[in-house]
């Protein structure tokens, strides 16, 4: 019998450079060096060894932190060289024994988080002029090559042993789970036939052939490798504008976690999350800002990470990751807001205007975008609850637009919603469209009409504009919301996940939507098939002398 999957311990998503175990970050002017030096005997949980720079969620959490801190804390950096501290190995990819002994849910969430980190890395180049260079001084296999694919440039050492490979299909009966196949053909535009050969060639490709096939950008002999990497970094730096001003430190969020009877939750400064055991429901509330928005970039810099948009959305991001990994039984998230709605609108408009000229304001705006994308990708149902006293305006109204349904209270004491500059471009979805544009694919002119609306809308106006789903009055409110919630949590979570993923991303397909659609569908499916995870499946049998046994019927 195969060993039962091991339930991973609670995952916490905050870390700091002083706590890194597996990455070494150094700086030399405009060039940073990020060395992957995974400590073998420091896995996230006991039961496997991180040999050959293989990674697990602990390694990837540190990488996610590195990318965020580079964007906020080091505006002087223009190029980042990603390389290995392990002889002859750049990175062996996700640790196979970790994957083989993890639960299905953990494997899928791990791949999704890793993908989001890779996309953040890619966005840092496109949006912030922070260029990543993969300096492959050894074998880059599986997820190791996928990390390289996320970088802007890939340089391979021509030393007779360094190579790139995707061994998942021939060795493990799974897919490169962090978007590798999509990046191969969509980003690097490798020919389909060559990509097919490459993805079934366990030993990979090295030297001149790797460049000829488009798998890497440059191949350099060992004697000139370091100099070639530096020259590439300097060239990228020369093509990039300075981000003026000092960096802004990202302090700990100081989350307060509590448990009381069957209730548990997390309280931050602006965000709170509550769950009740046995209900399969979580509630997240985001509060609006206090005071006034800073008058200029200098004042915003003084606020630093305490600036409302950055603080609130860092907290929301942490809560969403917590829900994904640590609350697998939660199937429905109720989204609520509170605070001064007019202030949310004013803060949004001021941030968007300031972001046109100030790098820090722009990074805050981009962080809001990334957090809302993480909300879009939650494998949980989302209901927005718009009540009197709520502040579903601008960036907080984006949460309602991201929801599968929204309920807005009508009557004498009713809710109001509002739009801001944040609803019309700064926070697009993975499909490249705003949530409003995605909502009104059938009537694009509606978005232009709404762009001039700055007054708050009551329930009747919101329903007329198509901005909410239902508007029960005071008599029906409690029953309608309760029945909708009870119905939702009674349905199959598998069917709901598939349904929601199909409905949320209408409109054009992008590399990003392909990655997540294929991950949600194919890798999710493959991770449950006996050919991969059965008692004698390839992932289960990896490292054993026996060969895997396959069900040869194509499905």
The 3-state DSSP class for residue 338 equals strand
| pLDDT tens, residue by residue, 186-224 | 999 999 999 999 999 999 999 999 999 999 999 999 999
HEC readout, 106-171: HHHHHHHHHHHHHHHHHHHHHHHCCEEEEEECEEEECHHHHHHHHCCEEEEEECCCCCEECCHHHH
Which residue stretches of 177-221 are H helix?
180-182, 192-198, 207-212
Residue 264 β-bridge partners: 259, 275
Residue 101 β-bridge partners: none
| pLDDT tens, residue by residue, 46-81 | 999 999 999 999 999 999 999 999 999 999 999 999
Q: CATH classification of 17-238 is 3.90.1150.10, yes or no?
A: no
Q: Which residue has the tokens 């990819």?
A: 93
The CA distances from residue 375 to 317, 378, 381, 402, in Å, are 8, 5, 10, 7
Q: 7-16, 28-37, 129-138: which has the minimum mean pLDDT?
A: 7-16
First-to-last C-alpha distance (Å) of the chain: 25
pTM, rounded to two decimals: 0.96
For range 241-253, the mean pLDDT: 90
Q: Report the distance separating Cα 355 and Cα 375, nearest Å.
A: 23
Which residue stretches of 377-444 are H helix?
397-402, 435-439
The 3-state DSSP class for residue 81 equals strand
Q: Report the distance separating Cα 36 and Cα 409, nearest Å.
A: 52
**Residue 234 in tokens:** 């300097």
Position 4 scores a pLDDT of 65
Q: Is the pLDDT of residue 332 over 60?
A: yes
| pLDDT tens, residue by residue, 449-458 | 999 999 999 9
DSSP conformational letter for 354: H
| pLDDT tens, residue by residue, 336-370 | 999 999 999 999 999 999 999 999 999 999 999 99
Q: Is the pLDDT of residue 321 over 60?
A: yes
Q: Is the pLDDT of residue 6 over 80?
A: no
Q: 46-55, 397-406, 537-546: which has the minimum mean pLDDT?
A: 537-546
Q: Is the pLDDT of residue 520 over 80?
A: no
Q: Is the pLDDT of residue 445 over 60?
A: yes
CATH architecture of 256-422+454-499: Alpha-Beta Complex (3.90)
Domain limits of the chain? 17-238, 256-422+454-499
Q: Report the distance separating Cα 224 and Cα 222, nearest Å.
A: 5
For range 98-111, the mean pLDDT: 92
| pLDDT tens, residue by residue, 218-237 | 999 999 999 999 999 999 99
Position 525 scores a pLDDT of 85
The 3-state DSSP class for residue 274 equals strand
Q: Are domains 17-238 and 256-422+454-499 of this chain identical in fold?
A: yes
**Residue 365 in tokens:** 């705006």
Q: Is the pLDDT of residue 2 over 60?
A: no
Helices vs strands, H then E, count in the chain? 22, 18
Q: Report the distance separating Cα 289 and Cα 310, nearest Å.
A: 11
Q: Is the pLDDT of residue 102 over 90?
A: yes
Q: Residues of the chain with pLDDT > 90: what percent?
A: 90
Q: Is the pLDDT of residue 1 over 70?
A: no
Residue 367 contacts residue 310 (beta carbons within 8 Å): yes
Considering the chain, what is the average pLDDT of its residues? 95
């Amino acid at each position: 019998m195969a060993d039962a999957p091991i339930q991973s311990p609670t995952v916490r998503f905050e870390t700091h450079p002083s706590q890194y175990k597996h990455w070494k970050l150094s700086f030399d002017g405009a060039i940073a060096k990020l060395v992957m030096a995974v400590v073998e005997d420091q896995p996230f949980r006991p039961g496997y060894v991180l040999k050959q720079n293989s990674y697990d969620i602990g390694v990837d959490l540190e990488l996610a932190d590195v990318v965020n801190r580079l964007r906020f804390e080091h505006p002087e950096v223009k190029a980042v060289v990603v390389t290995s501290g392990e002889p002859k190995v750049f990175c062996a990819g996700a640790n196979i024994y970790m994957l083989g002994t993890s639960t299905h849910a953990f494997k899928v969430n791990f791949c999704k988080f890793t993908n989001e980190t890779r996309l953040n890395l890619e966005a840092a180049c496109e949006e912030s002029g922070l260029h990543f260079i993969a300096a492959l001084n050894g074998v880059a296999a599986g997820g190791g090559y996928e990390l390289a694919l996320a970088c802007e440039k890939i340089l391979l050492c021509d030393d007779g042993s360094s190579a790139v490979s995707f061994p998942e299909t021939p060795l493990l009966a799974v897919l490169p789970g962090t978007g590798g196949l999509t990046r191969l053909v969509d980003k690097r535009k490798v020919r389909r036939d060559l990509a097919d050969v490459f993805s079934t060639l366990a030993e990979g490709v090295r030297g001149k052939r790797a460049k000829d096939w488009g798998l890497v950008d440059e191949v350099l002999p060992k004697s000139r490798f370091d100099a070639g990497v530096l020259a590439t970094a300097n060239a990228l730096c020369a093509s990039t504008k300075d981000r003026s001003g000092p960096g802004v430190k990202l302090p700990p969020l100081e989350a307060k976690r509590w448990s009381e009877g069957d209730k548990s939750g997390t309280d931050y400064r602006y965000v709170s999350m509550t769950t009740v055991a046995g209900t399969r429901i979580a509630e997240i509330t985001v509060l609006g800002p206090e005071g006034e928005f800073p008058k200029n970039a200098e004042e915003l810099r003084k606020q630093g990470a305490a600036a409302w948009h950055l603080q609130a959305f860092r907290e929301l991001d942490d809560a969403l990751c917590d829900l994904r990994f640590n609350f697998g039984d939660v199937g429905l998230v109720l989204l609520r807001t509170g605070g001064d709605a007019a202030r949310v609108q004013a803060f949004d408009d001021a941030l968007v205007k300031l972001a046109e000229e100030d790098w820090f304001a722009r990074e805050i705006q981009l962080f809001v975008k990334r957090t809302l994308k993480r909300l879009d990708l939650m494998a949980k149902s989302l209901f927005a609850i718009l009540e009197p006293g709520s502040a579903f305006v601008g960036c907080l109204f984006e949460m309602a637009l991201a929801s599968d349904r929204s309920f807005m209270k009508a009557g004498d004491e009713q809710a109001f919603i509002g739009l801001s500059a944040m609803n019309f471009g700064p926070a697009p979805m993975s499909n490249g469209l705003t949530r409003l544009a995605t909502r009104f694919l059938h009537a694009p002119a509606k978005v232009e009409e709404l762009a001039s609306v700055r007054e708050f809308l009551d329930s009747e106006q919101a329903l007329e504009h198509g901005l909410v789903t239902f508007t029960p009055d005071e008599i029906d409110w409690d029953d309608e919301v309760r029945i909708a919630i009870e119905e939702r949590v009674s349905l199959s979570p598998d069917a709901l996940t598939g349904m929601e993923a199909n409905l949320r991303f209408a409109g054009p397909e992008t590399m990003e939507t392909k990655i997540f659609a294929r991950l949600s569908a194919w890798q999710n499916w493959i991770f449950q098939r006996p050919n991969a995870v059965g008692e004698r499946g390839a992932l289960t049998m990896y490292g054993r002398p026996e060969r895997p046994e396959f069900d040869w019927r194509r499905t």
